Structure 1
Amino acid sequence: MPSFYSNPTLFEEIVMKQILHIDSSLFSDKGVSSTLAGDYVAGLMERDPELRVVHRDLGRDPVPHLDAIRLGAISTPEAGRTPEQARIAEEAEAMIREIQEADLLVVGVPMYNFGIPSVLKSWFDHVARAGVTFRYTAEGPEGLLEGKRAVIVTSRGGLHRGQPTDTQTGYLTTILGFVGITDVEFVYAEGLNLGEEARASALDSAKKDIERLLAA
């Protein structure tokens, strides 16, 4: 289940700004991408304490991978769902509501075997839904989550930015654009496994990029 952190007195008030913070490290809040993404969100909250943040830690509470049973539950009309199908469908609906209500999406993304974590792919599989977050038109697909921003904080053991091995940047830009989020910023922490000096340099560079975003 998602967790909420902000001023609890704001939950019953009109929320003017909302962040959806997604972490996908297997190490949960101990992962580098999670730590850096958390630093960025904390900086935003320090600047504006009235922000509401919805947090999903997919390492701690993974979203089940989409399979025939889950797809069938989501696709079945509400009136015809079994209790189990209703539970599955509500899980998916909750994820969609969270991104619909958010003004900013912040995602911590480590690189595993040249790709994004499978739990993050699963989250996207549940959030990208025809007729809800995108639709098909005569001119092609149209994203329905326009007017939002996204900040992606990536951590990599090696150096991949701008190389064919960086499958993350292209995929994340494409899937976010597909649902209508085209204002996307990336923060890279690369070379983390290339020695202590390289790791320190990577973390310093990422922190400076986060400071730049916070100052914008």
Structure 2
Amino acid sequence: MQILRIDSSTTGEQSISRKLTDLITQHFTEANPDAELVRRDLVENPLAHIDPITTKALRTPPETHEEAVAAAYPDERAVLDEFFASDIVIIGAPMYNFSIPSQLKAWLDRLGVPGVTFKYSDSGPEGLAGGRKVVIASSRGGEYSNEQMAENQESLLKTFFEFIGVDDLHFVRVEKTGFGPDTIEEGMKAAKEQIAEL
């Protein structure tokens, strides 16, 4: 078994999403002591935004790659293979300006590959990346309902992972982190209860 942990918060020790990914990782490693834990910190080691070379590296057959694309292919494909090799994926996803950090979006862009993680048919899109549990550690400074049009963080992630076929998807959320320590403590307590049930 492999557990993949992804962090994207830029706020270091103050990060609530990183505190959540710590707790979620601890929960699953204690339940699966023989599992291999793989960490990818998108702030310490950011992925560049995709460009024509990286897009072609991911979306075209290796035998067609010219020199620059061939050079990019191993690192680009490694991100995708790391995800496919994982049985549990833990993602730290704070809300930044009503969406997700651009570092996390760059990672998602490596997972959305036609013919690999999804395909189109006469009946519509079909996800090909199921068979794994994805747990998203969500933190938000305010409080948002799922119906709010301004909420483009969790809705984006839910849409994306369902599109590529992930049907075992969970959110552990701490909201109102901008309201002060007491509110954060209350939110973390509730999050711990959610994690215990995963």
Partners of 2:16 and 2:139 within 8 A in 1:
yes
Whether 1:173 and 2:155 are equivalent positions in the alignment is: no
CA shift for structure 1 position 78 = 2.1
Q: 1:185 aligns with which of 150, 166, 170?
A: 170
- What is the rounded CA distance, in whole Å, between the counterparts of 2:48 and 2:183 in structure 1? 35
Normalising by structure 2, we get a TM-score of 0.91
Look up the match of 1:204: 189
What percentage of residue pairs aligned between the two structures are identical? 36
Normalising by structure 1, we get a TM-score of 0.84
**Counterpart AA for 2:22:** G
- What is the rounded CA distance, in whole Å, between the counterparts of 1:83 and 1:28 in structure 2? 38
Change in 2 beyond 3 A, CA 1:28/1:93: farther
CA shift for structure 1 position 163 = 4.7
- Aligned residue for 2:131, secondary structure, equals coil
Whether 1:136 and 2:87 are equivalent positions in the alignment is: no
Partners of 1:62 and 1:119 within 8 A in 2:
yes
Look up the match of 1:9: none
- What is the rounded CA distance, in whole Å, between the counterparts of 1:32 and 1:23 in structure 2? 11
The Cα RMSD (Å) is 1.8
- Aligned residue for 2:160, secondary structure, equals helix
- Aligned residue for 2:178, secondary structure, equals coil
Partners of 2:59 and 2:113 within 8 A in 1:
no
Whether 1:59 and 2:39 are equivalent positions in the alignment is: no
**Counterpart AA for 1:175:** F
Deviates more, 1:139-148 or 1:69-78: 69-78
CA shift for structure 1 position 176 = 0.3
Partners of 1:28 and 1:60 within 8 A in 2:
no
CA shift for structure 1 position 73 = 3.6
Partners of 2:57 and 2:73 within 8 A in 1:
yes
Look up the match of 1:91: 75
CA shift for structure 1 position 29 = 6.5
How many corresponding residue pairs?
Answer: 197
**Counterpart AA for 1:139:** S
Whether 1:107 and 2:120 are equivalent positions in the alignment is: no
Partners of 1:92 and 1:127 within 8 A in 2:
no
Change in 2 beyond 3 A, CA 1:163/1:192: farther
**Counterpart AA for 1:42:** Q
CA shift for structure 1 position 95 = 1.1
